[in-house]
Every structure is written in structure tokens, then in C-alpha cells.
């Protein structure tokens, strides 16, 4: 049908089928890519457009419904202020505020938030915080925790009212003593709207490491280097591209949890109008591989085929279709006739290894890794013994045992998995994909596609969130096979339902703890048995569950003689079931372990009537000690003992106590009661956490830097910024070395043809590993600059100066006596004038250590003791992640991490019925926290200076995931005595504990 509407101040006409959603019309026909696809049912809001000034979701609005309306998208909100000789009005105050406050992480939902903010402020110039949160209530963000977007909107409203908000401060000086109650004394923006004081502020509080105080760019809240394009909704993501002749791919999914395919008849589908290709297992080479995006050799079994003659979960692949349109592809799927031989499924991991259990992987091509044993449905087995736990138990005064359970949950990045493939003019296959691991994609797919890696180019554009879900070579093969089959470009994008059907998730686990402890609280032995469910395929089976022990069980070594020689046992069976595969998810096994260990420690402390924090710190790992598991296990490789050099845990606890007012709350009956509501009880809880920083002797990152004629630099990294801000913090480290402003670093990541290798974005490694590589490359460049500058300065007269005397700062190379040349002069000299050379440096880095960050996570809750309903009121994270390169992006990481972890604590859970069909297929049933329901969030950075990194950094990305759930569980226990050992802590689980019905 012919439709017309006004779009961004221009009248547009379209010819579309009446069933076309407005989102599809805007993106596919009008190339309006600022409108994003996140779901098809209107829950996520990434597709927000303004219609007659009001925000609506274009995925659930037909294009026909927009006829006669006035539509606005992000494309006309603002633009770069300088476009060559043309000056523009620049970005809007809302866009500026989003950049300034660090409200943009992956940027996928940013256009929607900016539009919602514009609509709000145009109707209400003086909104209060609750009104701002309500305005964001229709837009889900998985990265930020909403705090900074709320601040951005309040700040923008103030600017638009003609007010001048305080500037965001740079460095925050270390307090003389403890931080004290929230928001006292620390410089911060004080933007108030509608008279409501904000619960929290943009800038986190930081105790700066003395060694880092002299740094100029590292440690500052620099603007994200990708913020300007993201806030404009530029076509920066994988699907934001038009290609002539592009086909749409769809997958026929298995309706059965376990079955053999007896026959497939695709003849009707192949003949269907618009269909270009239909592929089944009979059409493809039978190449077994692993979808886990990991370094070579893959530390796990090879158990996957692009298409197989067996299906292993509801949603598993049966056939692939490429067609001219989504509709044609979906219609073709319905024309494929499949006959299945239904097999008995295994849905309960406890039955996977039972005698006579059906074998999920009975294919002859299966390749074992380590102790995997497909005949027993065992994807991995891990057994680690440190010391002698039996002897330790004998030395204990008390043995405490407990069983704990954690659910399957999904990363739920708002940008779904999406890939686009095409042959380039050299007959090389280009894979433009939303991935955390571009180099692994190239290496791992090559044999699957029958191509050498050199004939594959993987481009990683901006990523709309990953959280581990895109550390997987999961869908790239679908588009690639269809491009090979048809010779045409193919786009394949998961729907939200397909994400829940078939994308990866956190491994659900059942964990049994046994701990020996003396009456004074000394832990004598600690044992964990873990049954981990990898689902239908063993991607990340060994390594995720290994980390459950490696980090989850590493923190509490005991005290006294046990500190010297701890007794720890960790055993895990990682089993196959006929459920969607588990995989990597931020935290990578540690949140599971942390739930069990920290709930267990709370139980022990209470049984011994010990202060829970004193008990924990008495037994906790300290600086100068060995990470106990480093002596015994390293993701299937040879372990090398590692000494902990920095550990700010005790100060994290002290600062957290002060910031939360712990002493006035814990154990204080008057605080627990809620006036006038006897059925409500407050509680406060804590959990401590340890994580890692990269995988030692394995994870490698590379970087290259070259100077340009204006004294700017191109920085190329293979590292994958998936919204974390890693491009920014990497550029900050380069700028610090080179003595130039961040604006003079032009960073690009990543493209397997052009950027150096990097293993990718996982294992909390980028700032540390890739950062060290960037520093190495920058130092090589700086050395060449100093040499040339010394010669240039000497040539200009006066006393000769040596290269080692040259300092780089403020875009100048300066001698001790003040003579200097600009970086531009150095560049022109090198490239055009004298002894011409391209000043550039290439470096890579692999670390011999994995310095752990530490954290103390506090939670406050209110529990309805009649219904079991839990409301989380406040989360405070005090974390030692080494030196903080950028407090804005770093606190964005902690706030977003705590928010994801909050879902893990109370509401996120993926369940399956007796036939293996999922309960959750959208964001209504799979509830993730929205802006209007968030608790107060606060981050305290307690810096240490990690000596193994040039700027003292450690990891930060994952540790915010670890402690929230157990801290909330412990707070619930504190509130009402309900000891809930199964996450998430649902109202019914609390109620059952209170009623003695669990």
C-alpha cells in the first residue's frame, strides 16, 4: 500500500505491505538507522520514535498507522558542530548532557532515551527525578543502571531552563579518613529538578592511589570517544548498513527437545516465491566445532555442527532459509516438512549422568577435551584439591554444610545477535558481526566454511551490548553458509524470542558446600561440589565452571596455619541436558560460586555468632599471599603460582561500612522495623568478592599507533569495545604516554584485516591486557618522537638536548629549559621534511599474572514478611580495581553490573516445561530492571596501584556481577530470618522459608 507521513520535517512516501511495522519501514526502506531493533513486542523501546511529539515504539506500530503523522527520529536532533567549512548548531543540550555525564555505554538505546527526554522536557521543563525515570520507563537499558541517563536528562533540563549546572569534576582527592555517608563532601554535580534531591550522583567517590595522582589523562572523566556518533544514532552497528541484493536469513527451529531428523522435504520451500536458498544438514560439510569464542586450542569439547541430523533442544537448528524478505523467509519455513524420531529428553541435570540416561551426543565426530565423556553426558569434569580437606575437617570445631542453587539467566543485550555476510571483490568473505571476539570468529569459522582464515575478513562495528553473550561464534555461520550458497549478501538477526530460544545463558548450577571452622571463626577446610548444566552443547563448559571454583572458592583461605596452607576442594561435573546451551555471561562462573560461598559464610557467621564482616576478613586472602587456585588450575592449561600484590579488600569493607551506615543498621532492632507497617522489615547484607584480570600466559592483545601530519594519532586495536568504554580508556592510556589530549587519538576497533590481533572482549582483560599493549605501542612512538624532537630543538640553536631529556605534554615535546616543538611540527618533520619516516609503534602484551580485583558489596532491602515480597532499596559497591582510568565509564560499568546482578538476585530466571519449552520468550516474562524501579546505586573506588600494569590498573567489568545476589540474600536473612538458598529470591521462596515450607 502507498503511505505518506512526515519524517524529520520532510514528507515521505512509501510502498509497503500493510503488515509492515514502522520500524522495518524506517530501517529497511528509508535507511533511518537511528531507530534500533531490540524486540518485536514493544518492551525494550530501542525503536522509539516521536510521533506528534510523543515517544512510541515503532516495532509494534504499523507503518500504515503513521500515515498523516509527524515523525521524528534521532537523525534530526543534533549534529556535529563542525562539518568541514559548514558550521552547525551542534548537538542538542540533551545530547551534550548524555555525553558529559557518561550516560552512553553501548549507545544502542541512547537515541531512544534522547528522544524520550526531548518529549519530556518539551512538556515539562522542570522534571523531578521520578518524572525523568517515568519518562525512561519504556526504554530498557542493559548497560547503565539508568543513573547517568537520569542525571543527563536532569542536567539537560537545567541547561534548557537557562541554568548552569556545576561542571563535572576531574580528580577526586582521597579523603583524609573514611568517605562517610553518601554524597557528603565529594565534588559532584548538584543538578536538581523539581526540588527533588537525587539519591546518587554521576561521579563515583574515589580514593586515589598515591602513585596515580600525577597522571594527567588517566584518571579523568574523559568523554567517551564514540559518544558523539552514538548520541546521534549514526549507523554504527552491524545491521546499520544497506546492501544491494541483500537476502534475509531465517532458521527453522526444532519444536522438540531431543529428536533425530528422519527426513526433511524442502522442495516446497525452495519453490516459494522470493526464496533464494534452503539448506539442511545434507547440504553442508560435516565439520564439528565449538561455538565458544576462545583461544586456540579451544578448552572444551567439539560437539557442534552448523546443521545436524539430530536436534538437542527446543529451538535447535533444523534448516536455514535465505529469501528476499522476512515474510518470504518465514513463509518458506512453514513449507519445510520434517519427520522426527522423538527421543527421550534430559531436562534435569541431576539425571544426565544416571545409568541408562539417553546420550545427547552420540555422533562419531565428537572430540573430547580433557575429561569430557559424551557417553556419560559429561561435557567437562573439574577436580581441584589444595591441601587436605579431610584433615582440615578433622581440625574443625564445627562443620557447616549447605546446598545452593542458581538459575539459568540470559545476557539480554538490547541489540540482538546480528550478522551480515558478503563476498568482496576479491572473493573474500566479509563477516560484519556483532561480536566480542572477531579474531576467534575468523579462526573458528574457517574450517566450518571451507575457507582459509586469510579469505575471511571479520568486521566488528559498534556493539549494542554483549556481556559474554557475544563471546560466541553463534550465528555467523548461518549467514555465511547462505552467502556461499547464493553468492549474495545475507543478513541474519535473531528476534528476541529467538534469543531466548537459542542464544547462550549463564550456567545454572546446584552447589553443595561443606566448611570446617573453629569456634574463633578460623576456616580449616572448604569444599564445593558443583553440578553445572551446560545445556545441549558444551560451549564454555569447562572454563565457566572452573572459574566457579577458581575464583568463587579462592577468597577464604582460612587464618593462621590454614592461611599458610589452605585446605580447599572443588569438584564439578558439567553435564549436557536438552535445554538451550549455556555459555559465557559476565562474571563467567563466579556469580554462581559467589552466591553459594557468600550465603554459606553468612550462615557460618551466624551459627558462631560472629560479626559477618570480621569473620570474612579474618579468613580472606591478603596481599603477599598466593591465589590458592593458581597453584592448581588454569582453564585446562598448566597452572603457574601467582602472588597477590594488591588487595584493597579491608579498606573496601571499611569504606562500605561508613558509606552504608552499617554499624547503625546491622543488629540494630530499631532500624529493622518500619513505622506503621509491622509487616515490613528492613535488612542489610554484605558479600565479598574476588575476580580475575585476564587469563595469564594466554590472553594477548595488540595495538598499533601511527602519527598523522597534524600531530594526531591513529590507534588501532583488536580489542572489542562492546559498549564498555574500552576504546576510551585505551585511548586515554595512549594519550597519557604521548602527552596529547584524548581528542588527538583516533581509535579504531576492530577489523581482522587492519587491526592487530586481540583475543577479544572477555575475562575482564581489555583495560589491563590491551591497555598494556597500547602503552607499549605508545612508548615506542614516544621514543621516536623524543629522538626527533631532540634533534629538531638542538638544530634550532642553544644547548644540545638528548632524547631522554624530552618530555611529552600538552601536545609538545619539551626540553628541560623550556624549548619545545609541537607534535604537529614533529609529524611534519618526520613525514615530509627530514629523514622521513612513519613514526609508528606496534606492541602486544600477554600477562604472567591475573591480578584480582576485590570488592565489598552491600545491599539494603525491605521485606514484606506476610507475602515474602522483597524490595531492594540500595546497593553500594566498594571495589578495588586498581587505578581507575576513567571514573565515568568505570562507574557506568559498576552501576550497570549491579543492575544486571540485581535481576539475578530477584527476578531473572529461565525455566522450561516438561517438554523443554521455554517459559520466557520476551521482556515481559523475562523481566529486567527498568528505570522507574531501580534502587539507589553507589560506587566507591578504592584504588590500589597494581605493579604489573604501567598505570596500575586491574579489572573491573565483571566483579560488580558477583556480590549483589548473595548480599541481597543476606539482607533478606537479616531482615526476617528467611534463609533463601535458591536464586532468584522470589516472593514465594521467601514466604516458604518464613512459613517453614521450603
Partner 1 sequence: MTSLDYHRPKTLDEALALLTKGVPLAGGTRLTARLRGIVGLVDLQDLGLNRIETTDMGIVFGGTATLQGLVEYASHLPEDLARAARLEAGWNIRNMATVAGTIVTGDGRSPLLTVLLALNTELQFAPGDERVPLDEVLGRGDDRTRGKLITAVHAVLPDRLRYAQVARSPADRPIIGVAVGVAQERAAVRIALGGYGAHPQLMSWDETPDAQEAADQARSMLADAGDQWASSEYRAAAGATLVTRLLKELDLE
Query: Residues interacting with partner 1, by CB under 8 A?
Result: 1, 17-19, 21, 40-43, 45, 48, 54-57, 59-62, 64-65, 67, 116, 134-139, 273-274, 327-328, 331, 679, 864, 866-869, 871, 903, 906-907, 911, 913, 919, 924-925, 927, 929-930, 932-933, 984, 986-988, 991-992, 995, 997
We find the least distance from the C-beta atom of residue 663 to partner 1, in angstroms, to be 29
Comparison of 597 and 964: residue with beta carbon closer to partner 1: 964
Comparison of 352 and 910: residue with beta carbon closer to partner 1: 910
> What is the spatial distance between Cα 251 and Cα 317, in angstroms, rounded to a whole number?
6
We find the least distance from the C-beta atom of residue 695 to partner 1, in angstroms, to be 35
- Kindly tell me the sign of the dihedral angle through the C-alpha atoms of 548, 554, 558, 564: positive
We find the least distance from the C-beta atom of residue 60 to partner 1, in angstroms, to be 4
Give the number of C-alpha atoms closer than 13 A to the C-alpha of residue 601, restricted to the C-beta side. 32
Give the residue among 421, 444, 417 at the shortest CA–CA distance from 432.
421
Comparison of 55 and 771: residue with beta carbon closer to partner 1: 55
Comparison of 134 and 783: residue with beta carbon closer to partner 1: 134
In the numeric block, the cell 552467502 is attached to 483
In 514-526, which positions are buried (b, 16+ CB within 10 angstroms) versus exposed (e)? bbbbbeebbbbbb
Q: Are 653 and 613 in contact (CB under 8 A)?
A: yes
Residue 675, Cβ neighbours under 10 Å: how many? 7
We find the least distance from the C-beta atom of residue 637 to partner 1, in angstroms, to be 40
Helix (H) or strand (E) holding 22: helix 22-24
What the block records as the C-alpha cell of 103 is 550516560
We find the least distance from the C-beta atom of residue 115 to partner 1, in angstroms, to be 10
We find the least distance from the C-beta atom of residue 49 to partner 1, in angstroms, to be 9
Comparison of 571 and 927: residue with beta carbon closer to partner 1: 927
Comparison of 303 and 331: residue with beta carbon closer to partner 1: 331
Question: Could you give the strand order of the β-sheet that contains 936-942, starting from the edge strand earlier in sequence?
Answer: 205-207, 936-942, 870-880, 854-864, 680-690
Q: What 3 state SS string does 207-262 have?
A: ECCHHHCCCCCCCCCCCCCCHHHHHCCCCCECCCCCCCCCEEEEEEECCCCCEEEE
Dump strand ranges (E) for 518-620.
523-535, 568-576
> What is the spatial distance between Cα 340 and Cα 309, in angstroms, rounded to a whole number?
10
We find the least distance from the C-beta atom of residue 468 to partner 1, in angstroms, to be 23
Comparison of 119 and 627: residue with beta carbon closer to partner 1: 119
We find the least distance from the C-beta atom of residue 62 to partner 1, in angstroms, to be 6
Comparison of 564 and 995: residue with beta carbon closer to partner 1: 995
Q: Are 803 and 783 in contact (CB under 8 A)?
A: yes
β-pairing, 418-423 vs 680-690, is: unpaired
Q: How far is CA 595 from CA 469, 651, 985, in A?
A: 21, 22, 11
Give the residue among 321, 312, 341 at the shortest CA–CA distance from 254.
312
We find the least distance from the C-beta atom of residue 989 to partner 1, in angstroms, to be 9
We find the least distance from the C-beta atom of residue 5 to partner 1, in angstroms, to be 13
Comparison of 62 and 654: residue with beta carbon closer to partner 1: 62
Question: Is 624 exposed, middle or buried (CB count within 10 Å of its CB: 0-12, 13-18, 19+)?
Answer: exposed
Give me Rg for the CA atoms of the chain. 28
We find the least distance from the C-beta atom of residue 68 to partner 1, in angstroms, to be 9
Comparison of 116 and 716: residue with beta carbon closer to partner 1: 116
Comparison of 446 and 906: residue with beta carbon closer to partner 1: 906
Comparison of 55 and 656: residue with beta carbon closer to partner 1: 55
Q: Are 603 and 561 in contact (CB under 8 A)?
A: no
> What is the spatial distance between Cα 344 and Cα 342, in angstroms, rounded to a whole number?
7
We find the least distance from the C-beta atom of residue 131 to partner 1, in angstroms, to be 10
Amino acid at each position: 500500500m502507498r503511505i505518506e507521513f512526515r519524517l524529520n520535517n520532510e514528507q515521505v512516501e512509501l510502498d509497503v505491505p500493510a503488515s509492515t511495522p514502522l520500524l522495518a519501514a524506517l530501517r529497511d526502506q528509508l535507511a533511518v538507522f537511528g531507530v534500533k531493533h531490540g524486540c518485536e513486542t514493544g518492551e525494550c523501546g530501542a525503536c522509539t520514535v516521536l510521533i506528534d511529539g510523543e515517544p512510541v515504539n515503532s516495532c509494534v506500530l504499523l507503518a500504515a498507522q503513521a500515515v498523516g503523522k509527524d515523525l521524528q527520529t534521532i537523525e534530526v536532533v543534533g549534529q556535529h558542530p563542525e562539518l568541514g567549512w559548514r558550521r552547525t548548531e551542534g548537538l542538542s543540550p540533551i545530547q551534550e548532557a548524555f555525553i558529559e555525564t557518561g550516560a552512553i555505554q553501548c549507545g544502542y538505546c541512547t537515541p531512544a532515551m534522547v528522544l524520550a527526554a526531548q518529549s519530556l522536557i518539551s512538556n515539562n521543563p522542570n522534571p523531578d527525578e521520578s518524572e525523568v525515570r517515568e519518562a525512561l520507563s519504556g526504554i530498557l537499558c542493559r548497560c547503565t543502571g539508568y543513573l547517568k541517563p537520569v542525571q543527563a536528562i536532569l542536567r539537560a533540563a537545567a541547561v534548557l531552563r537557562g541554568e548552569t549546572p556545576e561542571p563535572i569534576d576531574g580528580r577526586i582527592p582521597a579523603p583524609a579518613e573514611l568517605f562517610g555517608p553518601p554524597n557528603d563532601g565529594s565534588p559532584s554535580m548538584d543538578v536538581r529538578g523539581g526540588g527533588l534531591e537525587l539519591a546518587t550522583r554521576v561521579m563515583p567517590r574515589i580514593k586515589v592511589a598515591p602513585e596515580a595522582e600525577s597522571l594527567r589523562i588517566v584518571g579523568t572523566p574523559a568523554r567517551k570517544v564514540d559518544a558523539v556518533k552514538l548520541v546521534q544514532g549514526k549507523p554504527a552497528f552491524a545491521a546499520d548498513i544497506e546492501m544491494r541484493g541483500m537476502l534475509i536469513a531465517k532458521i527453522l527451529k526444532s519444536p522438540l527437545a531431543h529428536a533425530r531428523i528422519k527426513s526433511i522435504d524442502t522442495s516446497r520451500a525452495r519453490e516459494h516465491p522470493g526464496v533464494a536458498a534452503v539448506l539442511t544438514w545434507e547440504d553442508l560439510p560435516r565439520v564439528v566445532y565449538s561455538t565458544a569464542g576462545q583461544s586456540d586450542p579451544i578448552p572444551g569439547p567439539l560437539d557442534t555442527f552448523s546443521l545436524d541430523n539430530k536436534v538437542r533442544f527446543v529451538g535447535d537448528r533444523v534448516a536455514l532459509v535465505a529469501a528476499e524478505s522476512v515474510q518470504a523467509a518465514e513463509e518458506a519455513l512453514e513449507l519445510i516438512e520434517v519427520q522426527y524420531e522423538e527421543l527421550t529428553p534430559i531436562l534435569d541435570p541431576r539425571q544426565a549422568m544416571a545409568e541408562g540416561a539417553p546420550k545427547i551426543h552420540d555422533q562419531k565426530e565428537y572430540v573430547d577435551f580433557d575429561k569430557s565423556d559424551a557417553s556419560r553426558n559429561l561435557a567437562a569434569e573439574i577436580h581441584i584439591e589444595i591441601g587436605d580437606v579431610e584433615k582440615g575437617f578433622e581440625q574443625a570445631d564445627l562443620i557447616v554444610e549447605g546446598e545452593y542453587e542458581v538459575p539459568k539467566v540470559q545476557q539480554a543485550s538490547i541489540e540482538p545477535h546480528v550478522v551480515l555476510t558478503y563476498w568482496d571483490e576479491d572473493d573474500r568473505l566479509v563477516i560484519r558481526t556483532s561480536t566480542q571476539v572477531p579474531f576467534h570468529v575468523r579462526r573458528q569459522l574457517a574450517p566450518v566454511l571451507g575457507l582459509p582464515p586469510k579469505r575471511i575478513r571479520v568486521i566488528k562495528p559498534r556493539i549494542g551490548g554483549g556481556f559474554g553473550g557475544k563471546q560466541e561464534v553463534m550465528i555467523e555461520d548461518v549467514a555465511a553458509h547462505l552467502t556461499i550458497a547464493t553468492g549474495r549478501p545475507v543478513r541474519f538477526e535473531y528476534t528476541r524470542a529467538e534469543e531466548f530460544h537459542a542464544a547462550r545463558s549463564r550456567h545454572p548450577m546446584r552447589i553443595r558446600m561443606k566448611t570446617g571452622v573453629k569456634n574463633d571463626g578460623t576456616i580449616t577446610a572448604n569444599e564445593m561440589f558443583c553440578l553445572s548444566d551446560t545445556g545441549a552443547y558444551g560451549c564454555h563448559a569447562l572454563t565457566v565452571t572452573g572459574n566457579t571454583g577458581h575464583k568463587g572458592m579462592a577468597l577464604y583461605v582460612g587464618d593462621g596455619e590454614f592461611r599458610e596452607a589452605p585446605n580447599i576442594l572443588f569438584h564439578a561435573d558439567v553435564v549436557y541436558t536438552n535445554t538451550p546451551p549455556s555459555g559465557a555471561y559476565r562474571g563467567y562462573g563466579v556469580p554462581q560460586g559467589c552466591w553459594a560461598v557468600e550465603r554459606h559464610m553468612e550462615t557460618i557467621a551466624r551459627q558462631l555468632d560472629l560479626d559477618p564482616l570480621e569473620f570474612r576478613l579474618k579468613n580472606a586472602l591478603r596481599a603477599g599471599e598466593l591465589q590458592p587456585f593458581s597453584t592448581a588450575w588454569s582453564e585446562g592449561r598448566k597452572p603457574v603460582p601467582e602472588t597477590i600484590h594488591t588487595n584493597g579488600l579491608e579498606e573496601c569493607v571499611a569504606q562500605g561500612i561508613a558509606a552504608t551506615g552499617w554499624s547503625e543498621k546491622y543488629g540494630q532492632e530499631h532500624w529493622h522495623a518500619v513505622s506503621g507497617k509491622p509487616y515490613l522489615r528492613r535488612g542489610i547484607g554484605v558479600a565479598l568478592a574476588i575476580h580475575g584480570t585476564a587469563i595469564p600466559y594466554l590472553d594477548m592483545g595488540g595495538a598499533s599507533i601511527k602519527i598523522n601530519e597534524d600531530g594526531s594519532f591513529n590507534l588501532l586495536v583488536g580489542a572489542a569495545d562492546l559498549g564498555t568504554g574500552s576504546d576510551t580508556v585505551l585511548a586515554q592510556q595512549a594519550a597519557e604516554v604521548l602527552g596529547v589530549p584524548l581528542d588527538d587519538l583516533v581509535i579504531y576497533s576492530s577489523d581482522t584485516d587492519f587491526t592487530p590481533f586481540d583475543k577479544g572482549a572477555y575475562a575482564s582483560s581489555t583495560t589491563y591486557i590491551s591497555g598494556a599493549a597500547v602503552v607499549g605501542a605508545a612508548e615506542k612512538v614516544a621514543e621516536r618522537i623524543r629522538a626527533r624532537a631532540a634533534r629538531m630543538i638542538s638544530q634550532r640553536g642553544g644547548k644540545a638536548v638528548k632524547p631522554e631529556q624530552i618530555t611529552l605534554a600538552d601536545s609538545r615535546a619539551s626540553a628541560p629549559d623550556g624549548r619545545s616543538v609541537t607534535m604537529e611540527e614533529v609529524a611534519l618533520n618526520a613525514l615530509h621534511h627530514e629523514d622521513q619516516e612513519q613514526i609508528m609503534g606496534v606492541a602486544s602484551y600477554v600477562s604472567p599474572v591475573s591480578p584480582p580485583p576485590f570488592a565489598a558489596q552491600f545491599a539494603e532491602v525491605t521485606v514484606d514478611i506476610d507475602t515474602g515480597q522483597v524490595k531492594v532499596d540500595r546497593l553500594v559497591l566498594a571495589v578495588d580495581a586498581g587505578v581507575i582510568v576513567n571514573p565515568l565509564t568505570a562507574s557506568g560499568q559498576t552501576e550497570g553490573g549491579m543492575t544486571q546482578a540485581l535481576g539475578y538476585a530477584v527476578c531473572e530466571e529461565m525455566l522450561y516445561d516438561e517438554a523443554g519449552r521455554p517459559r520466557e520468550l520476551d521482556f515481559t516474562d523475562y523481566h529486567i530492571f527498568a528505570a522507574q524501579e531501580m534502587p539507589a546505586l553507589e560506587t566507591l573506588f578504592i584504588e590500589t596501584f597494581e605493579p604489573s600494569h604501567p598505570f596500575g590498573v586491574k579489572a573491573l567489568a565483571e566483579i560488580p556481577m558477583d556480590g549483589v545476589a548473595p548480599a541481597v540474600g543476606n539482607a533478606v536473612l537479616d531482615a526476617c530470618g528467611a534463609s533463601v538458598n535458591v536464586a532468584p529470591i522470589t516472593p514465594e521462596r521467601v514466604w516458604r522459608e518464613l512459613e517453614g515450607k521450603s
